[in-house]
Chains A and B, each alone.
Chain A
């Protein structure tokens, strides 16, 4: 199996993997920023996370990833629809 992959393909595959890792860490950073903004009020009376803050963070992470997935699904569906439409248009013009 592995021998069938050409070096150029392998390089591409590696680049894709690196892009995915970068994307994941970007997602993580954005999520951290958002959940900090939404859950931690800028009053720092104590250094520990409060109960409400902790619960808020848990829900924030769950919700953020949920929305990320939903938007991803919709985005793929829309771009696929777009592609179909473009193909149809190109077919009609001939």
Chain B
């Protein structure tokens, strides 16, 4: 019953967010696995492999944050320029 209610309240945006989250989870695993795991003589994960993977994840998230900040700044400048151009051409 509770799942029914929860599913009903999930709208399109939330589904998209969830999908994005799953996608970035998979991508993160792939990147950090490729960068950190090199030894296949044992099936155990080394402590340095684990440390590397976890650091990789945290660093990747921090990088993402920074990129999104910078991207937003550029977007804002581009918007302002477009507005200024529109005003200029509108006056002419």
Contact = CB atoms under 8 A, between A and B. Distances in A.
A48 B71 contact: no
Contact of A61 (B51, B53, B70): B70
B59 A48 contact: yes
Nearest to B73: A61
Nearest to A25: B20
B64 interface: yes
A36 B51 CA distance: 19
Interface stretch (A8-16, A37-45, A75-83): A37-45
B55 A46 contact: yes
Nearest to B52: A44
Interface string B20-60: 00000000000110111000000000000001111110111
Contacts of A44: 32, 35-36, 51-53, 55-56, 59
Interface residues of B, number: 23
The SS class assigned to the A binding surface is helix
A65 B36 contact: no
B77 to A, nearest CB: 10
B35 A57 contact: no
Given A36-B31, A44-B35, A44-B52, A57 B63 contact: yes
A62 interface: yes
Nearest to A50: B59
Contacts of B51: 44
A35 B34 CA distance: 17
B57 to A, nearest CB: 8
A40 B67 contact: no
Task: Give the interface centre of A39, A54, A61 by most chain B CB atoms within 10 Å.
Answer: A61
